[in-house]
Amino acid sequence: MTAVSETTARELLIDLVEIPSPSGEEEKAAERLVEFFKNHDREAWIDEVGNVRAPADDSVLLTSHIDTVPGDIPVHVESAENDKILWGRGSVDATGPLAAMAAAAVNTGVSFAGVIQEETDSLGARHLAENRDEPGAVINGEPSGWDGITLGYRGILFGTYVATSESGHTSRPEPNAIEQAMSWWDGVESVVAEFGGDEYDPVFEQVTTKPISIDGGTSADGLSVEVTMDVQLRIPPQTDADSLRELADGELNTGTVNWGKPIPSVMESPRTPVARALRAAIRNVGGDPRLLRKTGTSDMNLYADTWDCPMATYGPGDSDLDHTPDEHLSLSEYDRSVAVLEKTASRLTRGETA
């Protein structure tokens, strides 16, 4: 096995950030990852859905997503005081964690998987969880800061509201389909606010609602008004998706809602072998570990719902920069995260956690 140097690890990161990889267009980035593993004497391939698979010592699986959200941020490296900063879409979410895990997987001989479409329907993680054996432990790659460990994520429920009404003059008082959609969503927000806990609770412990898109207007034949609205409800650990779905359906007077398969919430213990090994590694590299709960959702939710093994999420980068036009990553932070992952994986393969 050829070891990955700090310079080579940075080159991989920059190459991957330079390759556009929005959800559904991950193939070129996946090919670069396979090339990286093969250049370092590791077996790797792209599976039937587009995931990169590089199995090895399965006592630890390092995994992150290849895709990014859309957005053209010119890729460049700028100098800062005692550091260099990489700008570009995905540098934080989650190409930084992805590249760090690839480098650490080579240097420690543990398993690696790069998965597709985390930013849309998590097709890659669903396929991975359903079609590989359970590993001994999982470290999922998302930005937590090099000294942060994410143990919890809220779940998510997706829905699409569809309604049609007869066309008519806009001066008529009867609500059209667009107004019906708005009325239904107002009702959902009101009933969920009463159901979802105290407004002074941390956001992680609340149910929150968000309309994602709405498309409506007069049909092509001019005989009806049509509307489609996509919505999301975020689910804290103490709430189940079926209860939320029943509440939302109870607000329906017209139209229908097509619900997607929910992703459950996850909350891992800080005392698992993975969390303890990460804390020890962060301290060893000179940091003070922080334990985090995130209000969003990640592929770790799916892994925890399928596999009964310890896991946590970790990776370089400031998650406040996710999906923003200011996405950038400190390369010195990236270097430290590779070191943390290597020390963590080595501890876990040896059965050491502290």
Token code pair at residue 139: 């470290």
pLDDT reported for residue 331: 98
Q: 90-147 pLDDT, tens per residue? A: 999 999 999 999 999 999 999 999 999 999 989 999 999 999 999 999 999 999 999 9
Confidence of residue 198 (pLDDT cuts 50, 70, 90): low
Domain range 6-153+265-349, CATH class: alpha beta
pLDDT reported for residue 173: 82
pLDDT reported for residue 64: 98
Confidence of residue 201 (pLDDT cuts 50, 70, 90): confident
pLDDT reported for residue 194: 77
pLDDT reported for residue 2: 77
Asked whether the domain spanning 155-259 has the same topology as the one spanning 6-153+265-349, the reply is: no
Query: Which residue from 68, 240, 95, 94 is spatially nearest to 154, judged by alpha carbons?
Result: 240
pLDDT reported for residue 1: 67
Amino acid identity at 191 = V
Would the pLDDT of 70 be above 70? yes
Q: 266-311 pLDDT, tens per residue? A: 999 999 999 999 999 999 999 999 999 999 999 999 999 999 999 9
Mean pLDDT (the chain) is 95
Confidence of residue 197 (pLDDT cuts 50, 70, 90): low
Helices (H), the chain: 6-18, 27-39, 95-108, 123-131, 177-195, 241-249, 273-284, 299-306, 331-349
67 flagged as catalytic:
yes
pLDDT reported for residue 251: 95
What is the rounded average pLDDT of the residues 1-8? 90
Architecture in CATH of 155-259: 2-Layer Sandwich (3.30)
What is the rounded average pLDDT of the residues 169-183? 88
pLDDT reported for residue 157: 96
Integer-rounded Cα radius of gyration of the chain: 22
pLDDT reported for residue 119: 95
Q: Please tell me which residue in 26, 67, 142, 327 is annotated as part of the active site.
A: 67
352 flagged as catalytic:
no
Domain ranges within the chain, ordered by starting residue:
6-153+265-349, 155-259
Confidence of residue 196 (pLDDT cuts 50, 70, 90): low
Cβ atoms of 102 and 109 closer than 8 Å: no
**Would you call the peptide bond into 94 cis, given omega within 30 degrees of 0 as the criterion?**
yes
Q: 210-236 pLDDT, tens per residue? A: 999 999 999 999 999 999 999 999 999
Q: Please tell me which residue in 26, 93, 118, 142 is annotated as part of the active site.
A: 118
